[in-house]
Amino acid sequence: MSLRWINSALAFILLSPGAAVHSTEHLLEPSPPTSRQGLPGPAQRPLCPALQRAVENSLGPYTAPWSVSVLDERGQLLADINGWLPRIPASNQKLISSAFALDRLGPDFRLKTELLRHGDGNLEIVGEGDPDLSIAEIQRFIMVALSRGGSRSSTTTGSPLQLMLREEPRARWWPSDWPSVDRSYAYGAPITRLALTSNALQMAVMDPALRLERILSTTVNQQGGSLLLVRVNPEQREAALARARSAEPVVIHRELSAPMHGLLSLANTESHNFTAEVLMREAANNWDVVEASQANTRWLQAQGIPVQGLRIRDGSGLSRGNRATSRTLSSLLWRMAQHPYGAFYQASMAIAGRRGTLWSFQRGTPLTGEFWGKTGTLRGVSSLSGILKTTNGPRYVSIIANGASAPRGVMGDVLLAVQRISRCPSWNAAGKPHDGHG
């Protein structure tokens, strides 16, 4: 799906009346909170017995497959079922990687694909994984290279146009624990820096580097020339340039992706795996998925978010090695609501009964248009986390089911209960629990 349509829609959402207005300050290095006030600790009990009972009733007698956590606008834990039990989060993992990317890179960040001319005259194409990179854009690189190739231009000298492509080695194209069967589908396409149409057509493009090289060669041939391509490893190339103390290359052509808020919407509204993977790698400034995952974990810890049992194996949630708790996800949602870019984060999510992966969810019920969230689905796994608007303020809800039957209907019942009991009957007029009522 193209990203170009997203910008106008997000601009309307973010600038509409009632949208949050935030400071432009960017929390590049967020300091740990001075206290854990507002974030639930392991020993904290749910503060709303009525909501706790309603959630339990929604789940039924067999709660073992379920984890549910509900926080209020102050970050207080209102209801919790197995909230500290690590589970496979499926695509709710994207809430973690997208928050990391938004904080580190900002809402105006764009992925770049560039044609560079080095001091020795060599031409090189480098990229950052733009999921919307098109054949037309790649063809423009060749036309510019032919016009700027100087003595190397095949159209003027008869010698081949020499061009380097900086690309990750094949061993990094997929996280190691992605199942082989998933890798052949579009949702499991390889993660590369130079990725035409997210390395997917009807199915995954299993050798995207070869596909790119064929398109480049065909384009040069159509102009009456020939092409000599050299594929180079990014880390080895950077090391070689550093050893040679080469001058900074000149950018002679650049193609840009949609801005960050558009990329986030593709990851969270449409659950696009490729985009989520690229965002985590770019936020970490490291395309080794293991090291990028570790950087994402450190970022969560720096935010003061509980990470007990957390295990990050990828940015998209396709790996069944990921683990997260519902308390981690609900706390992340609450924390991002305090972030200067919190409005962008919420705007990137699907909306119940309205758009994205939630367009048909609870349509025609009181949840329509009132719940902004992220779905997740793997075999035997279903998850749903997001922000629920209630008459008594937002509620930050995370629901994860591993091994439950018919989970989507139950999730709707849980959200309806949270919406219905948005003010606990045991609270006083100030909206706080009476002493002695827990």
- Percentage with pLDDT > 90 across the chain: 78
Residues 415 and 278 in one domain: yes
Residues in the chain: 438
The whole-angstrom separation of Cα 424 and Cα 45 is 15
* Residue 113 covered by a domain: no
Helices (H) and strands (E) in the chain, counts: 14, 11
Going by the DSSP 8-state scheme, the letter that residue 13 receives in this structure is H
- Which of the listed residues 219, 248, 277 is the one where a domain comes to its end? 248
Q: How many CB atoms lie within 10 A of CB 247?
A: 10
Residues 86 and 214 in one domain: no
Give every strand in the sheet of 227-232, ordered side by side. 227-232, 161-166, 123-127, 110-117, 250-259
Residues 348 and 410 in one domain: yes
73-91 pLDDT, tens digit per residue, is 999 999 999 999 999 999 9
b/e per residue, 30-43, with b = 16+ CB within 10 A?
A: eeeeeeeebbbeee
* Residue 63 covered by a domain: yes
Residues 408 and 290 in one domain: yes
* Residue 15 covered by a domain: no
Residues 198 and 270 in one domain: no
- Percentage with pLDDT > 70 across the chain: 85
The contacts of residue 308 (CB under 8 Å, 6+ apart) are 42, 84, 86, 325, 328
pTM of the model: 0.87
- Which of the listed residues 190, 225, 248 is the one where a domain comes to its end? 248
Residues 180 and 220 in one domain: yes
392-438 pLDDT, tens digit per residue, is 999 999 999 999 999 999 999 999 999 999 998 876 545 565 443 33
* Residue 135 covered by a domain: yes
* Residue 368 covered by a domain: yes
Residues 81 and 170 in one domain: no
Are 343 and 14 within 8 A, CB to CB? Answer: yes
* Residue 312 covered by a domain: yes
28-42 pLDDT, tens digit per residue, is 333 344 444 456 665
The contacts of residue 268 (CB under 8 Å, 6+ apart) are 94, 95, 98, 348, 349, 350, 356, 374
Q: Is the pLDDT of residue 212 over 90?
A: yes
Residue type, 298: R
* Residue 254 covered by a domain: no
Residues 139 and 288 in one domain: no
Domain of 129 in residue numbering reads as 119-248
pLDDT the model gives residue 428: 54
* Residue 435 covered by a domain: no
- DSSP string covering 85-109: S-B--GGGHHHHHHHHHHHHH-TT-
Q: Is the pLDDT of residue 340 over 80?
A: yes
Residues 283 and 414 in one domain: yes
How many domains does the chain divide into?
Answer: 2
Helix, strand, coil shares, percent, the chain, to 5: 40, 20, 45
Q: Domain of 76: which CATH number?
A: 3.40.710.10
Are 266 and 194 within 8 A, CB to CB? Answer: no
Residues 244 and 267 in one domain: no
* Better-predicted residue by pLDDT, 194 or 242: 194
CA-angle at 285, arms to 30 and 31, nearest 5°: 10
Phi and psi at residue 31, to the nearest 5°: -85, 150
The whole-angstrom separation of Cα 86 and Cα 164 is 45
- Which of the listed residues 223, 248, 273 is the one where a domain comes to its end? 248
* Better-predicted residue by pLDDT, 153 or 287: 287
**Mean pLDDT across the chain:** 88
Residues 267 and 393 in one domain: yes
Residues 297 and 230 in one domain: no
What does the pLDDT average to over 155-179?
A: 88
The whole-angstrom separation of Cα 264 and Cα 272 is 9
